[in-house]
Amino acid sequence: MDRIDVVRKGARPIPRLAVALVPLGFLGIFYFYPLGGIFHRSFFSGEIFSMATLLDLATSRRMAGIVWFTFWQAGISTLLTLLCALPCAYVMANFDFKAKKLIMTLATIPFVLPTIVVAAAFQALAGENGLVGGINLEHSIAMIFLAHVFYNFSVVLRITTGFWSFLRQEMGEAAAMLGATPGQVFFKVTLPLLRPAILASAILVFIFCFSSFGVILVLGGPGFSTVEVEIYRQAAHLFNLPGAAVLSLFQICFTFGMMWIYTTLQKRITTFIPQSQSHALKPVNTLKEKLMVASCVGFILVFCLSPMAALVVKSLVFDGSLSLAFYRELFQNTSGSLFYVSPVDAVENSLVFAAATLALAVVIGVCAASTIQRTGKRIGAFLDPIFMLPLSTSAVTLGFGIIITLDKPPLNLRTSVMLVPIAHTLVAFPFVVRSVLPAISSIPASLREAASLLGATPARVWFHVDLPIMARAITAGAVFAFTMSLGEFGATLFIARPEYSTMPVAIYRFLGQPGTMNYGQAMAVSSMLMLVTAVGFLFIERFRSFGDRGF
């Protein structure tokens, strides 16, 4: 053991420090520094402290209406999501039936779709030229609610199903033996036990709806605006950077607070589960149980698959017949403009940016997970939420912070091709951390000690011991980073130069232009992006070690 101590003391401190500096340096330069720039723009005019912009927005009736609508639509969307998902969670948590895992996977696919694809799918289903004839919900609050429920349904379903399946049945059975009706058992016993999971999922859904961008921008039209959309409009259309900065600061503070509440509740959930055993699932025997299962499965299949199916159909129908005309048109520069970026070029840009994001996210995420695992419980518990901070910050806010700060030497990156993958990496690397951390934490210290005792250097220990064990988790995180980059829309719309347009930006521009061909090309690019992200998610599911128990 003396030799082990020598190896640890003499060889590991420098690599460990270098590993920690990779994610901390990346966050410092590309996350905290831009956020500091937002704060400075909010309260300083030049070098003079001023609250004029804040006071102007605080007294603006229009801004008050935007803030109210942001809270109101997020609250209603969250409530509707809970009403739709909780009955399905009951079925999934308590009954065993065929194709259950497949149904859960299909229910989750909408959440991994890019928001711009979700918006395009609902336009294809119930828009002005939608597949459902006689119904036009475009630019209506009903369309926004439907899209938000569609996108967030699996958040509530998976979190509450995982928690519900570990509740002990004995408590409900004891209440029933004492004369409680099934309704009383649910409201007096089950519901109070489920409260942490329901609140955690509700807060997460509320955050997603509060910071909704692509859905509001496309489906809401000019009549609806959330804080997120208004940040983009103030900065990109009105060039009111101080006003956009104040709105960004407000959104950051609110989402940070909500994420703190969510992580607190999530800790209560994760500490509860290991203390219990998953209860045995019941077979579906009675007619009532069969009806419940059939209703749940039918709702998930119709609600989750209809918009995606409509998207594919609209991309394949031209002049009333099946055709690949929209896909063939993707290869043409019909405008003849030198500044036109064809959809094929947008696909190529997306793939290049996604590959760069994958490489950056894997390196930074693995370094972050290693730092959390090897710095001890106290420091690791502090660093873990630090590395997750980009998840609680909207992509539009990240993009806005980047463009107002990284425009001067030595960090003048505004015209750099690397600015897009850097922004995508901020969004993606926390998912790599979450994938890799459980795997790296499961490696027994005795394996590393044995390798060190046999003379292996720290680098060889990592490559021959740690890496093989982490390989599956790294692969899952890498695929997630790749698909996240392909679908990222908010930050990319802010920071990408015209020649660096990506697939989501191309979809948005096609949807904003009149004409059947532009609409059809938007459907075609959306279908391609949907297929890639869905396949990526199915690939990730094969590497997940926690199945239905987590989200």
Higher pLDDT, 73 or 162: 73
- Give percent of the chain above pLDDT 90: 29
Query: Nearest CA to 156 among 71, 96, 93?
Result: 93
Cα–Cα distance, 70 to 229 (Å, whole number): 10
- Give percent of the chain above pLDDT 70: 87
Q: Is the pLDDT of residue 168 over 90?
A: no
Amino acid at 403: I
Q: 3-class DSSP state for residue 202?
A: helix
Q: Is the pLDDT of residue 287 over 70?
A: yes
Amino acid at 137: L
Max Cα-Cα span within the chain: 79
What does the pLDDT average to over 499-510? 88
Query: Nearest CA to 495 among 225, 208, 236?
Result: 236
Cα–Cα distance, 469 to 369 (Å, whole number): 14
pLDDT digit string, tens, across residues 33-59: 998 888 888 887 777 777 887 788 888
Q: Would you tell me how many other CB atoms lie within 10 Å of the CB of residue 210?
A: 22
Higher pLDDT, 139 or 410: 139
What does the pLDDT average to over 92-105? 88
Q: Is the pLDDT of residue 119 over 70?
A: yes
Higher pLDDT, 521 or 184: 521
Cα–Cα distance, 491 to 34 (Å, whole number): 13
Higher pLDDT, 116 or 240: 116
Cα–Cα distance, 246 to 256 (Å, whole number): 15
Yes or no: say if 132 and 126 are a contact pair by the CB < 8 Å rule: yes
Query: Nearest CA to 216 among 122, 113, 86?
Result: 122
Query: pTM of the prediction?
Result: 0.84
pLDDT of 415 reads 80
Instruction: State which H helix or E strand residue 151 sits in.
Output: helix 141-164
CA end-to-end distance (rounded Å), the chain: 41
pLDDT of 1 reads 45
If you average pLDDT over each of 214-228, 240-254, 357-371, 440-454, which comes out highest?
357-371
Q: Is the pLDDT of residue 10 over 50?
A: no
Which residues neighbour 10 within 8 Å (Cβ) at sequence distance 6 or greater? none
pLDDT of 71 reads 95
Q: Give Cα 193 to chain centroid, integer Å.
A: 27
Instruction: State which H helix or E strand residue 469 sits in.
Output: helix 467-487
pLDDT of 527 reads 93
Please give the DSSP secondary-structure letter assigned to residue 323: -
Label residues 267-303 b or e (16+ Cβ within 10 Å = b).
Answer: eebeeebeeeeeeeeeebeeeebeebbeebbebbeeb
| Residue-range domains of the chain with CATH | 1-36+325-332+364-500 (1.10.3720.10), 50-316 (1.10.3720.10)
Token pair 């405008």: residue: 335
pLDDT of 41 reads 83
Q: Is the pLDDT of residue 173 over 60?
A: no
- Can you state the angle between helices 445-453 and 2-11, rounded to 10 degrees? 100
Cα–Cα distance, 364 to 350 (Å, whole number): 20
Higher pLDDT, 424 or 330: 424
pLDDT of 172 reads 58
Cα–Cα distance, 41 to 245 (Å, whole number): 6
What does the pLDDT average to over 236-254? 86
What does the pLDDT average to over 394-417? 84
pLDDT digit string, tens, across residues 522-550: 999 999 999 988 888 887 777 654 444 44
